[in-house]
Chain A
Amino acid sequence: MVDLSPHDVLAGGALGYMDHLSTLGVHLQHIEVFDDDAHPLRVNGIAVSPAGEIFLAAGDPEGTRDNDPHDVAYVATVPPKLATLVARSDNTMELWTLALDLTLIEKFTGLATDSGWTRDRYGKLRVGTDHDTLYYTDRGRTIFRWSLEDGVQLPHHVQLPLDSPYVYAGFDLDDAGDIVIAVTEDGNGPRNAVALDGLAVWTDEVEPDDAIYHVLKLSALDFSDILTYPVSLSPAGANAEITALAVSVVSGVVARRRVQSALIA
């Protein structure tokens, strides 16, 4: 069970666990993430509904399953649903829509990916402010778009030059439709996850100088440091790269709610 308050942060990455942090970076709890056979999973994506429900794209760390959920997004349609980016073992990308009880609504196959994409390059997914356009990346040079209502691929949003040293990876959208995106290919910088919370940006780091992974809270205005929190994403103190971040949103009078984490495996 998770006691989730507005602006709390969920950070996935360690095998079998997810971290729950306060907005001040205080570690609140470890949340176990195992499948029905008690195998530990790694959280690739997190979505939090306005009602405070937590949805996870929790993948097989061995990469042996046919379908590997890379990210999940909450779609505020009526009724609401989930959109999930799924990497297939044949290195193709699919989009699945699910009801909030995780029953499958529809599968869309053959999503556009960057040339040479393989499933180990994790995709990220967010919903546009129109609640129809899905934006996704595959850790390549393109931010792709997909129309959820029409079920068709849209022209890509933006594309890096072929020789760019960056990649489009973890990202989030703000209310104006602006995108904050992690572009680190190698070296120490954010890559896997971005979560916006008003004037703050939460993001990860890869290849940290001191070999201790951190979660970073930056100013959304200029990306200056607000908080750097070393993560220890398991009770045993495992030091793992963050792969997913989400911020609990404020909705109505919701202040504190007990929720059950749900898995998509």
Chain B
Amino acid sequence: MGATPLLEIGGDHSRIFKRRGPGDWPGVFIAPSHYTGVEGDIGLLASDPDNPSFVVWGTQQLNAPPATDSIHAGWYSPNRMESITGPINAGSSDGTSQLNPRSRRGPDGRLYATGRLFTGATTGRLFVSEDTGASWSVLVERVGTNSGVPSLPYVGADHIWWMERRIEASPGPPFDDSTHCFRRCSLDGSGISNTFSDAVLGSPPLQALEAAASINGSRHAPNLIVIWGAGNYYHIVCDQTNPAALVFQSVLNARFNFIDLCTSEMPIAGDRIIQVWINRAGGGPDVQATYINILDQNGEFVGGPVIDGIIESTSIGAGVDRIAQSPYDPNHLWTCAQSGTKVFESTDGGWNWRTEIVNQVGELSGFHFLRGLTMVDKNAPGLWKLPAADPGTPSVTRTVF
């Protein structure tokens, strides 16, 4: 009984769900943005601690032209989750429209998100919201033949960083460096530059960091940024002040498919990087096992694997999808099975993991840790005080029991 100190929320293709504690999945609720009835993809972002009920999510509508891919931001109010912005990346499509349903709050307080459209020449966009998601504008637009700004941007103190893939060369600068590039620009969108590309890295090429690539910062070492490509073999760690000089790159055996990582601030051992990767049995589609690796910030292997065993899916892309660390408890880590209904939870920094079956939840695509969020869903418990003068606006609420 009593208020739950920590809520964990996650999203799958069309729903947002919450967990109040081990084994306690009180239900799901349909994200308001999912109005088309067509499966999308939800990415979630918990805002800063001063604003815990603010959430950003995106939907990726699949195979249903006209595309209505969208990024939404909303508040969990006592009544319901309010969507305060509509589609920002809508357009006609042949069914291959894509939006990276991810967003991130920069240290400048603005929200950043990326998306791309396959509408003939692919357009990749970096969006920014000045008003906590109520409206969005295009900060950077990249026109190419395959993709533009595909990765989740990392917003540092002075620059926005992203990874983009360009399979075919685009005419003229700054689009003259084809293939895969790690780029940055100033916070106002100017000064787009290429930090390094395939030529810098040699073999294996940077192309491994493709559409699902993303970039993380380290809270313990602010200048350190980690770049990784989901579904590929390695990741890169570099310093923002001199990004071309790599701190290290981790090259995994090609049999193993690198999925995701998070940087971890361990209370005892300092900064670490925790990876999730899966064994594809020789590069094939069959997922044989899932592993967690723990590296120090120099890329040295510290421990793991600690999850093993067969994950149920046999299709490419299945298996473990994300890993995240609670900002409230550095030892609290989550990862999840993308194609199933399992969540793997560690409360000791990744050394030991337990599996939890989540029957209500389908394919998990992301999750975050929130504290103090009055999550609203079909199972929302509550007690309200309705003032006589304005009964529609509860003056006292308690919605977590």
A214 surroundings in chain B (CB, below 8 A): 1
Q: Which residues of B contact A216 (CB under 8 A)?
A: 1
Given the contacts A160-B79, A189-B401, A225-B1, A179 and B383 also touching, CB distance less than 8 Å: no
* Interchain CB contact under 8 A, A190 and B388: no
A186 contact from B24, B378, B398, Cβ within 8 A: B378
Question: Is B378 in contact with A179, judged by CB distance below 8 angstroms?
Answer: no
Chain B residues within 8 Å of A176, by CB: 388
CB-based contact B391/A189 at 8 Å: no
Roughly how many angstroms separate A208 CA and B1 CA in the complex, as a whole number?
8
Please tell me which one of the listed residues A159, A180, A187, A203 contacts residue B380 in the complex, with CB atoms under 8 A apart. Answer: A187
User: Closest Cβ of chain A: how far from B23's Cβ, in Å?
Assistant: 9
Interface of A is mostly: loop
Find chain A residues with CB under 8 A from B398 CB.
218, 222-224
Interface residues on chain B, number (Cβ under 8 Å)? 31
Q: How far is the CA of A191 from the CA of B26 in the complex (A)?
A: 16
Q: What 1/0 mask marks residues of chain A from 217 to 246 whose CB sits below 8 Å from any chain B CB?
A: 010111111001000000000000000000
Closest B residue to A194 by CB, please name it: B383
**A189 engages B79 (CB within 8 Å):** no
Contacts of A222 in B (CB 8 A): 396, 398
The answer to whether B383 and A218 touch across the interface, beta carbons within 8 angstroms, is: yes
Q: B27 near A180 (CB under 8 angstroms)?
A: no
Given contacts A218-B398, A223-B396, contact A180 B391 (CB under 8 A): no
A156 and chain B: residue at smallest CB distance: B391
State whether the Cβ of B285 lies closer than 8 Å to any Cβ in chain A: no
Interface SS of chain B: helix, strand, loop or mixed?
A: loop
Q: Is the CB of B382 within 8 A of A158?
A: no
In residues 1-39 of chain B, which contact A (Cβ within 8 Å)?
1-2, 20-21, 24, 26-27, 29
- Check if A149 is an interface residue, CB within 8 A of chain B: no
Nearest-neighbour CB distance to chain A for B352, whole angstroms, equals: 24
Question: With a CB–CB cut-off of 8 A, which chain A residues contact B2?
Answer: 225, 228
| Stretch from A59-67, A110-118, A161-169 at the B interface | A161-169
A190 contacts B380, CB within 8 Å?
no
- Residues of the B chain whose Cβ atoms lie less than 8 Å from the Cβ of A206: 381
Nearest chain-A residue to B386 (Cβ)? A179
A 65-101 to B, binary, CB cutoff 8 A, 1 in contact else 0: 0000000000000000000000000000000000000
- State whether A182 and B383 are in contact (beta carbons under 8 Å apart), knowing that A157-B391, A161-B79 are contacts in the complex: yes
Determine whether the beta carbon of A188 is less than 8 Å from that of B26: yes
Indicate which residue in B383, B391, B397 contacts A203 across the interface (CB closer than 8 Å). Answer: B383
Does B401 contact A164, Cβ atoms closer than 8 Å? no
- Chain A residue nearest in CB terms to B30: A163
A181 interface residue, CB < 8 Å from B?
yes
**Which of under 10, 10 to 19, 20 to 34, or 35 or more describes the interface residues of A?**
35 or more
Q: Report yes or no: B378 in contact with A180, Cβ–Cβ below 8 A.
A: no
Residue of A143, A164, A184, A194 near B381 (CB, 8 A) is: A184
With a cutoff of 8 Å between Cβ atoms, the chain B residues found around residue A225 in the complex are 1-2
**Docked complex Cα distance between A163 and B80 (Å):** 8
A183 at the interface (CB under 8 A from B): yes
Q: Does A150 lie at the interface of the complex (its beta carbon under 8 Å from any beta carbon of B)? A: no
B215 proximity list for chain A (CB < 8 A): none
B376 within 8 A of A: yes
Contacts of A189 in B (CB 8 A): 380-383, 399, 401
The answer, among A165, A181, A185, A201, for a CB contact under 8 Å with B386, is A181
**CA A224 – CA B392 in complex, angstroms?**
22
Is B328 close to A, CB under 8 A? no
Collect the chain B residues with CB atoms within 8 Å of residue A201's CB.
383
Name the interface residues of A202-217: CB closer than 8 Å to any CB of B: 203, 205-206, 208-209, 214, 216
B377 close to A (CB within 8 Å): yes
- Smallest Cβ distance from A211 to chain B, in angstroms? 12
Among the interface residues B79, B379, B383, B395, which one has the most CB atoms of the partner chain A within 10 A?
A: B383
A218 to B3: give the CA distance in the assembly, Å: 12
A112 to B60, CA, bound (A): 43
Query: Once bound together, how far apart are the Cα atoms of A130 and B256, in whole Å?
Result: 74
> 18 A-B residue contacts at CB 8 Å?
A143-B386, A158-B386, A160-B79, A161-B80, A176-B388, A178-B395, A181-B385, A184-B382, A185-B379, A186-B379, A187-B379, A187-B380, A187-B381, A188-B401, A189-B399, A221-B396, A223-B396, A228-B2
Known: A183-B382, A224-B398. 9 other contacts (CB 8 A): A158-B386, A160-B79, A164-B80, A178-B395, A185-B379, A186-B26, A209-B1, A218-B383, A228-B1
| Interface positions of B (Cβ within 8 A of A) | 1-2, 20-21, 24, 26-27, 29, 79-80, 376-388, 391-392, 395-399, 401
Interface residues of A (CB under 8 A from B): 143, 157-161, 163-166, 176-191, 194, 201, 203, 205-206, 208-209, 214, 216, 218, 220-225, 228
